[in-house]
Structure 1
């Protein structure tokens, strides 16, 4: 009887606790409502420039200059045809795609390899070298451009797309983010077991470490791709031939050629942003999972 009474009392206590928990969760909160309104307003503000860009590329230049357009029009094909007459937009798209994909692959592999060395190896001067990597994060690209340009001129890579791909191997943001992920996700016992089985260090990295750090690599690779695609200053200094121009340079070219033809300019801008929107739309879940990995422990 005592056991049954205690069991019934515990059950009733749990039911009451669950009832009050559900009631508390379902209760209206002014702070939560304000937070939702703020987040919705922020999302709308961030989306509006892309929306107006897409809307404007479907209208004539006269309509764009005279009034605020909210609904799409029927002039996109005409704007696109005028834009492609003098601007090789598809060549720029192919150049940017080749450079961005190559830079992303090199940055991901060599950045992860460097991070593995900083995270799992002990050697003299490791913390000092890592401090230099962190220090390079705060150097603006405008300041670093002088040194990069000197190296590129010395190597004879002027007007060569390799000059935009090779520097991606040294990505301090990739090293910084991936190092701490490796420290938390890759156990030392796993590495020691692999070494006892006769695996070389490169095989351990390629076969064991790389599959375990896919979330962090996916997250940083997306940022690397977007940064490489949107890069304007370095290609402007390096590339001289129009057939090698990237999408940002093609957009600047279209703005110079079609100064008063806003429809053609907006069409070029919309096409340059389309791959970024597609990549971010399909890969945003990897960004969220990579940034929140390790934040919650079971």
Structure 2
């Protein structure tokens, strides 16, 4: 046993060193964003900045003079929260139907659902634009929120979790006690699959928050634009003012970093729980 332990020490040290290097590689870009947001363009272009500068207030004042960044921030937050709630709930409900109901073409419909995950979203963009135009929803946040109701990846992930976490006998017992189907889902199934739903909600929120192409095409009014689109406009308007651009990127990145730091354990737990079948 002693020989085994002594032999495993160098391997552990090597693993920790590799993890430290990977963490450093991941952290440095974000560190640069926040540091450069406090400097002026001449400092950013002439040398690599390691310490905070004195131009944060000036960059912030310049950004607010020409850009409604906080309105865009609020728009992105509203859309991301709505997409997260709708996608997580209806994804869980659909996954429950696929996992626990035996109906004709169940497997075929599920394979069709999986096939939609393999198609790039850009392929359906023209058709969706025409549909939104027909429904008179152009330049409306609802055009960005409604598609979240049908999230194939959420359905797939939660369905696999339901197979391992929710026994059929529990559902049958609830039916024998007179529970309706929706009540079974809300009172019994949903609390049991919360880790999977919560994990998918995090990924859905990040995806919706970073969504760029759909708001760029479907939203026209300046007061309705989302944060990624506003930052892209800033990169065009302030192409020579890198400090302002970095500050806008920092504002967009900071909520995601805070969100991930707070719920990191839940993300990992949701991905691993139920991974091993009995």
Mark yes or no: TM-score above 0.5: yes
Deviation at residue 38 of structure 1 after TM alignment? 2.0
Deviation at residue 29 of structure 1 after TM alignment? 4.0
Deviation at residue 34 of structure 1 after TM alignment? 2.8
Deviation at residue 181 of structure 1 after TM alignment? 0.3
Which stretch of the first structure deviates more once superposed, 195-204 or 138-147? 138-147
Aligned mate of 1:184, from 139, 160, 164: 164
Tell me if 1:169 matches 2:149. Answer: yes
How far, CA to CA, are the matches of 1:87 and 1:214 in structure 2? Answer: 39
CA contact (8 A) 1:54 1:270 kept: yes
Deviation at residue 169 of structure 1 after TM alignment? 0.5
Deviation at residue 274 of structure 1 after TM alignment? 1.1
User: TM-score if structure 1 supplies the norm length?
Assistant: 0.90
How far, CA to CA, are the matches of 1:25 and 1:113 in structure 2? Answer: 49
Aligned mate of 2:116, from 128, 132, 136: 136
Deviation at residue 155 of structure 1 after TM alignment? 1.3
Correspondence for 2:244: 264
Deviation at residue 30 of structure 1 after TM alignment? 3.7
Tell me if 1:294 matches 2:267. Answer: no
Tell me if 1:247 matches 2:220. Answer: no
Deviation at residue 150 of structure 1 after TM alignment? 2.2
How far, CA to CA, are the matches of 2:52 and 2:117 in structure 1? Answer: 42
Instruction: Select the structure of larger CA radius of gyration.
Output: 1
How far, CA to CA, are the matches of 1:294 and 1:74 in structure 2? Answer: 50
Correspondence for 2:181: 201
Correspondence for 2:195: 215
Alpha-carbon RMSD: 1.5
Tell me if 1:39 matches 2:25. Answer: no
Deviation at residue 47 of structure 1 after TM alignment? 1.2
Aligned mate of 2:100, from 120, 127, 141: 120
Deviation at residue 146 of structure 1 after TM alignment? 2.0
Deviation at residue 227 of structure 1 after TM alignment? 0.1
How far, CA to CA, are the matches of 1:226 and 1:28 in structure 2? Answer: 38
Deviation at residue 31 of structure 1 after TM alignment? 3.6
Correspondence for 2:59: 79
Aligned mate of 1:67, from 47, 53, 60: 47
Q: Structure 2 unaligned runs (5+)?
A: none
User: TM-score if structure 2 supplies the norm length?
Assistant: 0.96
Which stretch of the first structure deviates more once superposed, 57-66 or 99-108? 57-66
Correspondence for 1:160: 140
Aligned mate of 2:31, from 35, 48, 51: 51
Q: Equivalent residue of 1:70, what SS? A: coil
Q: Structure 1 unaligned runs (5+)?
A: 1-19
